[in-house]
Amino acid sequence: QVQLVESGGGLVQAGGSLRLSCAAPGRYAMGWFRQAPGKEREFVSGISWSGTTIHYGDSVKDRFTISRGNAKNTVILQMSSLKPEDTARYFCAARAEWELGVIKTTPDEYAYWGQGTQVTVSS
């Protein structure tokens, strides 16, 4: 069983920043998804194991930055210019990377999931 360990999240005012991190026990491509009450799980960002391929969802492009941490099995999501509509539970996900240069954006492509961390942005 692959366990993903997430940290970060919390309450912030609109325009503020938060940082999420996630560690996976191995060589995985990783991604972040979010889910607000009553909505489907939405792709936020993904990064290859090497860190050279990155992709963002349209709603967070130019505001969020994904990167590998000093420990390469860690992924960081730096969230800036947060909006109330960013409020959701954020989930870290990992998958074996069979195709280089491809970031998967649908939840069913990811085999392993964290328990999620709540991000709340107040107006």
pLDDT at 97 over 90: no
Locate 9 and state its tokens. 């999240």
Which residues are bridge partners to 123 per DSSP?
A: none
pLDDT digits (tens, 9 = 90+) for 44-73: 999 999 999 999 999 999 999 999 988 889
- What lies within 8 Å, CB to CB, of 104 at 6+ separation is 29, 31, 46, 95, 110
- Quote the pLDDT of residue 104: 95
